[in-house]
Amino acid sequence: MPRARSTRVLAVVGLVLIACGVGAWLLIRPPAASKPAPGCVILITIDTLRADRLGCYGARRVRTPSLDRLAAESTLFERAYSPSPWTKPAVTSMLTGLDPAVHGIVSGGQDDPPLPGSVELLAERMHDAGYRTGAFGYNPYVAMVEDLRRGFRDYFIMPRLDAEIPLDLYEGIDPRDTTAAISGITERWLAQRGDERFFCWMHFYDPHLPYDPPKDYWTDDHRSQPDPAASRGPTEEMHSQPFYRPDDNERRQLRGLYDSEIQYVDDAVGRVIATLKRLGRYEDALIIVSSDHGEEFWEHGGFEHGHTAYDELLHVPLFVRTPHAASRRVATAVDTPSIYATIADACGLEPAEHAFATAPSLWPSIVEGVDPAPRDAIFAGFTLYWEPQRTVRFGRYKFVHKIISNDVELYDIEADPGETTPIGDANPALVKRGRALLEAHRAWAEELRGRLRISSEGGKEMGEARKKLLRSHGYLK
C-alpha cells in the first residue's frame, strides 16, 4: 500500500477506535467503587420492540404503563440503536459487549464460530463476582447459540433442545404462551433467591411473529377493526412469500396485532416488577430495558425484520433504572452493545479489555447525570435476508452500503429521520467518508478478532432437529 494511503487508513482506524469508545472510556472512567454495587441486576430484553411503540418514547395509541413507570424512574436514551436488525447478532453483542463484526455470531444457520474463552461473557463475570445468574426467555436463535449460556447457572432459554426445566419453576405453566411462561418462571426464581445477589436476564419473545395477543390486551384501535379475532393475519403467507403485498386492511390488522402484543408484554413486565417490590428487592435494583431490534411495516417496502437496516429496525428502547440516579432523558446517540460495559461498571467489575474496547460504559453518564461523549461513528448491519448491508451513522448522517450490488445510500437523519430521501449523489465527500469509516471498521474488527482468537471459519453443520425448529418458526424455508 502506498505510504500516503496507508497513513490515511491508519488515521481513519484511529478515528474508529475513538468512535468505538476506547479514548472516551479511558478518559472518563470513574472509580468503580464510587457507588455500592446493586444487590440485583435485571436485564429485560423484549424481542422485536420498536422504540416508537412505547408511551415513554412518544406512542399515544399503545398503552404501556408498566414500562413507562419504570422509564420515568430511569435514565432513558432517546436515540439507542441496535447493531443488527435481527436477534442473534444483536443479543450476542449485548452479552459480549462486542460488535457483530467482531464476535461473528451472524449466521442464519449454525455455521457461526465458537466464542473462545478470551471472550468473557457478562454472565461469566457476574457469576465470578458472586451473583447468582439466571436467564429466562424464548427465541430459537438465542437457544441455538450454545456459548450464550456460559456463566448462567440457571439457563432456561426456550425452546429447549436438550434438558427439562425443573418442575418447581415450570409446573402449571403453558410454554406455548411464551410471555406468561417467561414472567411466571422468572417470578418463581426470584422468590427462591432470599437475599442472595443475582443477575437475571429475561428475553421476551413477543411482540415477535406470530402476532397472537390475548383478547384482553387488544389495543382500542385493534378492537375496532372489522375482524380483530383474525389473530394471525396473513403472516404465515408473508413468511413464505417475501414479496407478498398485503392490502390496507391486512396492514392495519398486522399493526394492531403487533401493538396489542406489546401491551401484553408490558403487563408481564409489570408483574415481575411487582414481585420484586413484594420481595423487597426493588429498592437497590439495577434494571435495564431494551430490545434486540425493531420491526418494519412497509416504511421501505418490506415487513418484519432482518431484511434491511433502516431505523425502524435499529432504533430500540434503552432505559436504565438505578437508585443512584435521578430520572432524565439523554439525546446523545448510543448503541446496545454498551449494555455489557454499563452493567459490569455498575457492579464495580474490572473492565474486560475486549468489552470496553468495543462499546463504552454508559454508567458514568448515568450516575453523574451528564450526557455521554458523542461517538464519532456508530455501526450496524448484518442483515439476515436479502442483500448483506453495513451502515454507519456519523454526525447527522447515516451511510448504507449494500455489499453485493455495491449500492450506497446516504441520509441526513436529522432532517429526514424516516430515511426517505437519499442525498448521496449531491454529497460525494460524505459518501467517501462513509465508505472510509466502514472500511476502517472492517479492518479494526478483523484485527480485534485476531487478538481475541475468534475463528473466521464456520462451525458445525446444522442438525436436523435445529433445522426443524427454525422451519417451524418460519426462519428456514
Nearest CB to Zn ion, comparing residues 266 and 376? 266
Nearest CB to Zn ion, comparing residues 292 and 419? 292
Nearest CB to Zn ion, comparing residues 46 and 454? 46
415 and 324 in contact (C-beta within 8 Å)?
Answer: no
Query: Does 87 interact with Zn ion (rule: CB under 5 A)?
Result: yes
Query: Does 312 interact with Zn ion (rule: CB under 5 A)?
Result: no
Between CA 351 and CA 362, with CA 356 as vertex, the angle to 5 degrees is 95
Nearest CB to Zn ion, comparing residues 261 and 409? 261
Place of cell 406468561: 180
Stretch that binds Zn ion, among 145-153, 259-267, 286-294, 406-414 (CB under 5 A): 286-294
Tally of residues, the chain = 477
| Cα gap 306→425, rounded to integer Å | 27
Q: Build a one-symbol-per-residue string for 3-42: x at contacts with Zn ion by CB under 5 A, - elsewhere.
A: ----------------------------------------
Residue count, binding to Zn ion (CB under 5 A): 3
CB 70 → Zn ion: shortest distance, Å? 21
DSSP letter at 99 equals: -
Nearest CB to Zn ion, comparing residues 267 and 292? 292
CB 92 → Zn ion: shortest distance, Å? 12
CB 208 → Zn ion: shortest distance, Å? 6
| Cα gap 70→173, rounded to integer Å | 26
Omega before residue 207 within 30° of 0, cis: yes
Which residues does residue 138 pair with via DSSP β-bridges, in sequence order? 158
Stretch that binds Zn ion, among 15-23, 85-93, 198-206, 351-359 (CB under 5 A): 85-93
Buried b (16+ CB within 10 A) or exposed e, 421-444: ebebeeeeebbebbebbbbbbeeb
Nearest to residue 65, comparing CAs of 269, 281, 292, 316? 269
Q: Build a one-symbol-per-residue string for 108-147: x at contacts with Zn ion by CB under 5 A, - elsewhere.
A: ----------------------------------------
Stretch that binds Zn ion, among 8-16, 87-95, 214-222, 386-394 (CB under 5 A): 87-95
CB 48 → Zn ion: shortest distance, Å? 5
Nearest CB to Zn ion, comparing residues 87 and 389? 87
Minimal CB distance residue for Zn ion: 87
Residue in 15, 20, 25, 47 binding Zn ion, rule: CB under 5 A: 47
Residue in 154, 259, 292, 335 binding Zn ion, rule: CB under 5 A: 292
- Ramachandran sector of residue 418 (left: φ over 0; alpha: ψ -120 to 50; beta: rest): alpha
| Cα gap 235→474, rounded to integer Å | 10
Omega before residue 228 within 30° of 0, cis: no
Q: Residues interacting with Zn ion, by CB under 5 A? A: 47, 87, 292
